[in-house]
Amino acid sequence: MAKVYVVTSGKGGVGKTTITANIGCALASKGEKVCLIDADIGLKNLDITLGLENRIVHTILDVVNKKVAASEALVRHKQLKGLFLLAASQIATKEMLSPEDMKRIVGELYGKFDYILIDSPAGIERGFRNAIASAEKAIVVTTPELPAITDADRVIGLLENAGMVEENIRLIINRFKPQMVKRGDMLTKEDIQENLSIDLLGIIPDSEDVIVATNKGIPVVLNGNQGHGIARVFENIALRIKGELISVEKDLQTEAGKGIIEFFKKLFSRN
Amino acid sequence: MFFGFFRRKKKDRGSRKEAKDRLQAIVAGRRHSVPVREVIPAEVFKNSEQDVVKQIKSYVAERFMVNEENVRVQFEEHNGYVVIITNVVFH
């Protein structure tokens, strides 16, 4: 039976889709059978992040309208045989899907996967309600800025109101800049955690590698970076999801020493 | 004046403290929500929901000349308010 997670944030543009894609890839590369569901109807992006945009035949709307079964609408990832995507429709609106529809779809896939990750749209309206309807656990994503943190706080409240217990809601801080924290110009992970009062699942340092990987349609975890830098952080998060106890400090260690490497890279760069 | 210049610079450094204070002020009490059932008794809410769904279905089906089965009406209870969503399927 699958463990069903929703990846949500409240605020848009904090990296939900990139995080969903990379955690999915990291779990699948560790031998887990993973299904990613894009619940961002009308503004789909998960297929693009995974480089699967040209392979989509059926979308979640076809499943809602009972044209195909959920398993028939899935697209298998090119490199990872255990990773599947249920794509969102671009021509539909969030109102065409209901929380009951989402429960039915997840129910159909529940027995076939180890993990189901639902990529929630931004906001706290219908799309969010759909995304959380069938989730047992939530990953709340924020960046270290006030608007994103306060929106994350609102979302945590709504998840709790929907019946999710605090232990099942975990936080990822994305685009963290240790150098700014050192300068006293960015909130620390302790500041954020203290105010949101939920467990930390990971800290993802700001990285240009993510943009380069997205440009190629290859999640950073698969872009030749396995075991290093930012890919290592996603691998740590996947292992924590699987129940391994890995300190979140390890996420920041991937950045330690990068300064000197970058310095020499720039020094010998031809550009 | 020379020393005053450096003192001012030091005072301006680091916006973390300000961000932390603002965050605490914003977050305090923010998660409180008002379930609709605190405003309307559950029984009244349920009966009203059924009546409203029936009336919307009938009205929309007539106006758009479709069968009532093609009109989906859903009630959602959000933080202290109710959202009614209607979908009309033509095919």
Q: Which of B15, B27, B75 to mutate to test the interface with A (most CBs of A within 10 A)?
A: B27
Cβ neighbour number for residue A57 with a 10 Å cutoff? 11
- Average the pLDDT over A174-202 and give the result: 94
Residue in A96, A153, A185 nearest the CB of B15: A185
What would be the CATH architecture of the domain defined by A1-267? 3-Layer(aba) Sandwich (3.40)
pLDDT in tens, A46-64: 999 999 999 999 999 999 9
Residue pair A233/A244 in contact by the 8 Å Cβ criterion: no
ipTM of the complex: 0.76
How far apart, in Å, are the Cα atoms of A102 and each of A1, A115, B18, B40?
A: 17, 16, 42, 28
The rounded distance, in Å, linking the Cα atoms of A143 and A204 is 9
Q: Which of B10, B13, B15, B31 to mutate to test the interface with A (most CBs of A within 10 A)?
A: B31
The rounded distance, in Å, linking the Cα atoms of A193 and A210 is 24
Amino acid B13: pLDDT = 64
At residue A172, what is the residue type? I
Q: Tokens in use for A151?
A: 């929106």
Identify residues of B whose CB sits under 8 angstroms from chain A CBs: 13-17, 19-20, 22-24, 26-27, 30-33, 35, 72, 74, 76, 79, 83, 85, 87
Amino acid A85: pLDDT = 98
* Alpha-carbon Rg for chain A in angstroms: 18
Amino acid B44: pLDDT = 85
Residue pair A38/A45 in contact by the 8 Å Cβ criterion: yes
Closest among A147, A123, A111, A141 to A22, alpha carbons compared = A141
- Whether A137 shows a pLDDT value over 80: the answer reads yes
Find out whether A14 is annotated in a ligand binding site.
yes
Amino acid A270: pLDDT = 55
Residue B16, C-beta contacts closer than 8 angstroms, at least 6 positions apart: A181, A184, A185, A186, A187, A188, A191
Q: In this structure, are strands B71-78 and B81-88 parallel, antiparallel, or unpaired?
A: antiparallel
Residue in B16, B24, B76 nearest the CB of A184: B16
Q: How far is A90 from chain B (nearest CA, A)?
A: 17
- Average the pLDDT over B21-34 and give the result: 78
The rounded distance, in Å, linking the Cα atoms of B13 and B7 is 10
Cβ-based contacts of B30 with chain A (< 8 Å): 150, 153-154, 157
Nearest Cα residue in chain B from A151:
B27
Structure confidence at residue A80 as a pLDDT band (50, 70, 90): very high
Find out whether A165 is annotated in a ligand binding site.
no
Nearest Cα residue in chain A from B26:
A150
Sheet architecture: strand order including A3-8: A75-76, A83-86, A34-38, A115-119, A3-8, A137-142, A169-176, A199-205
Structure confidence at residue B43 as a pLDDT band (50, 70, 90): confident
User: A127-131, A241-245, B38-42, B51-55: which has the minimum mean pLDDT?
Assistant: B38-42
Residue A46, C-beta contacts closer than 8 angstroms, at least 6 positions apart: A17, A20, A21, A36, A38, A40, A85, A87, A88, A119
The rounded distance, in Å, linking the Cα atoms of A48 and A216 is 9
Please give, one letter per residue, the 3-state secondary structure of chain B: CHHHHHHHHHHHCCCHHHHHHHHHHHHCCCCCCCCHHHCCCHHHHHHHHHHHHHHHHHHHHHHHCCCHHHEEEEEEEECCEEEEEEEECCC
Average pLDDT of every residue of chain A: 90
In this prediction, what percent of chain A has a pLDDT beyond 90?
72
Residue A212, C-beta contacts closer than 8 angstroms, at least 6 positions apart: A220, A223
Amino acid A125: pLDDT = 85
Q: How far is B1 from chain A (nearest CA, A)?
A: 26
The rounded distance, in Å, linking the Cα atoms of B66 and A6 is 36
Q: Tokens in use for B55?
A: 């009336």
The rounded distance, in Å, linking the Cα atoms of A130 and A3 is 17
- Whether B34 shows a pLDDT value over 70: the answer reads no
Q: What are phi and psi of A145, to 5 degrees?
A: -115, 150
Q: Do A150 and B87 touch (CB under 8 A)?
A: no
- Whether A171 shows a pLDDT value over 90: the answer reads yes
Please give, one letter per residue, the 3-state secondary structure of A37-88: EECCCCCCCHHHHCCCCCCCCCCHHHHHCCCCCHHHHCEECCCCCCEEEECC
In this prediction, what percent of chain B has a pLDDT beyond 90?
31
Amino acid B74: pLDDT = 85
Q: In this structure, are strands A169-176 and A199-205 parallel, antiparallel, or unpaired?
A: parallel
Closest among A12, A78, A24 to A216, alpha carbons compared = A78
Identify residues of A whose CB sits under 8 angstroms from chain B CBs: 95-96, 98-99, 125-126, 129, 146, 149-150, 153-154, 156-158, 160-161, 181, 183-188, 191, 195-196
Amino acid A242: pLDDT = 96
* Crossing angle of the two packed helices A189-196 and A146-161, in degrees rounded to 10: 30
- Whether B36 shows a pLDDT value over 60: the answer reads yes
At residue A8, what is the residue type? T
Domain boundaries, chain A: 1-267
Structure confidence at residue A104 as a pLDDT band (50, 70, 90): very high
